[in-house]
Amino acid sequence: EILKETTLKGIADYIKSGKARNIIVLTGAGISTNAGIPDFRSPKTGLYSNLKKYNLPYPEAIFTLEYFKVNPEPFYHMARQFYPGYYKPTITHYFIKELQNRKLLLRNYTQNIDALERICGIEDGKIVESHGSFNYAYCVGTKDKPGCRKTYDYKWLYSRLFPLNKKFVIPRCEQCNGLVKPAISFFGEPVPDKVSECAKEDFPKCDLLMVIGTSLKVEPLSRLVNEVAPNTPRLLINKTMVSAFEIIINRDVIALGNCDETCLKLAGYLGFKNKLLQTYERETERLAQETEID
């Protein structure tokens, strides 16, 4: 048998027994909704339902390069609500960070573009952002001319998205005046190479897979969930059921509900619940004082 019991406690016992030393965590929007970041697909709070005022040809147009080059304004309005530094990491983010502290985290593959993984202190080398991130931006040109691809860092972009006491203006390339777009993957753009490079190396080593806050409807994570060995335990922490977990085998544990509450419960079984709460409170306080990026 793989797990003594297919419960959260069973997963905790498996970790405590020393069998899980290379944990892969797949995360999605559900881990950031408690930070106040809108989920793409939730009807009322979701991103798409808030875009009606822009009269987009279709909602997803906001994430296509063709439309961005014609009218980048809706994307940037959305980006400003989403921008890293504006939100604070959640208990779930600090739970994953604690796995890293304990040298148990092999990699965190995230669909999120909010960079909360970095902000909570997960190391750069441990993160794979499968849809890119706001960590840097580059020139994509305009509808009439290709971009020069000059890159800009996080602070450059931030100072333009949130200019002090000035009206927001669409960021333009200093070299060729093209439009500057954050390095997040738009529809039809290839998934970053880093995803398949890391996955090839990571998944054969994985001895526990955690899927947290994602319904796994989108490539590449939807594919990765099935890449672990058949005897590798998998834990699902999500509001709703995910089809990859529907065939019940004694390696799968399904914990439906709020990500933060479930991670706290698991931390309790692992003996670091109080530490996790203290870290969360201390760091949230520290980040609140640092809201200005120097």
Active-site residue (options: 126, 131, 160, 234):
131
Residue with tokens 């190396």: 201
124 is written with which tokens? 């750069």
Looking at residue 44, its pLDDT comes to 61
User: How does strand 132-141 pair with strand 179-184?
Assistant: antiparallel
The domain spans of the chain are: 1-37+87-131+193-294, 39-86+133-184
Indicate the helix (H) or strand (E) that contains 212. Answer: strand 208-212
Q: Is 131 a catalytic residue?
A: yes
- For residues 112 and 32, the answer to whether their CB atoms sit within 8 Å is yes
Supply the CATH classification number for the domain 1-37+87-131+193-294. Answer: 3.40.50.1220
Distance CA 201, CA 173 (A): 37
Residue with tokens 């970053």: 192
Looking at residue 55, its pLDDT comes to 83
Q: How many CB atoms lie within 10 A of CB 198?
A: 20
Supply the CATH classification number for the domain 39-86+133-184. Answer: 3.30.1600.10
Residue with tokens 């014609």: 70
pLDDT digits (tens, 9 = 90+) for 250-274: 899 999 999 999 999 999 999 999 9
Minimal CA–CA distance to 113: which of 128, 97, 98? 128
Distance CA 123, CA 101 (A): 10
Residue with tokens 């990500």: 259
∠ Cα 10 16 17 (to 5°): 90
pLDDT digits (tens, 9 = 90+) for 154-177: 889 888 888 777 788 899 999 999
Q: What pTM, to 2 d.p., does this model score?
A: 0.86
* Tens place of pLDDT per residue across the chain (294 aa): 789 999 999 999 999 999 999 999 999 989 998 887 766 656 565 666 777 778 888 878 888 999 999 999 999 888 877 665 668 999 999 999 999 999 999 999 999 988 899 999 999 999 999 998 888 899 999 999 999 999 998 889 888 888 777 788 899 999 999 999 999 888 888 888 889 999 999 999 999 999 999 999 888 888 999 999 999 999 999 999 998 898 777 899 999 999 999 999 999 999 999 999 999 999 999 988 876 554
